[in-house]
Amino acid sequence: MAELERGKSGEQGQEYLLRIHTSYDPDRFLAVLKGESMYLGEYPVPLSRTETDAGIHVWQATFVAPFCTTDPDMLWRIDFQQSNNDLDELPVKLVFQGVGRGA
């Protein structure tokens, strides 16, 4: 299960809280932000394991999506990696719309 919640909005932009509930337990777990509607590079976000219950691990991170001056409400995709390797085992594709500054 994946959860993405909007947090506070500040000088750096809109903050998001990402939580992943999974039985998968890698040594190093990364969420990688990539532009879905246009390419703006890749932004790795390290996830930290916060709890484990009945074999389900909860990983989370707080991040601010990069700001795009061309399309401040652009679509972002979150891919998952263990260190530098893509994870095909996670059956989830996360896409969210960024929030422009001042929104």
Q: Range of 13's domain?
A: 2-97
What the block records as the tokens of 28 is 């190093």
Number of structural domains found in the chain: 1
Q: How far apart are the first and last CA of the chain?
A: 28
Residue range 2-41, pLDDT digits in tens? 899 998 887 878 899 999 998 888 888 999 999 888 888 8
Residue in this structure with the two tokens 């903050």, named with its chain if needed: 15
Looking at the domain assignment, is residue 103 inside a domain?
Answer: no
Looking at the domain assignment, is residue 102 inside a domain?
Answer: no
| Percent of the chain residues topping a pLDDT of 90 | 37
Task: Reply yes or no on whether the pLDDT at 57 is more than 70.
Answer: yes
Higher pLDDT, 15 or 73: 15
Question: pTM for this one?
Answer: 0.81
Collapsing DSSP states into helix, strand and coil, what is residue 72? coil
What CATH number is associated with residue 49? 2.60.40
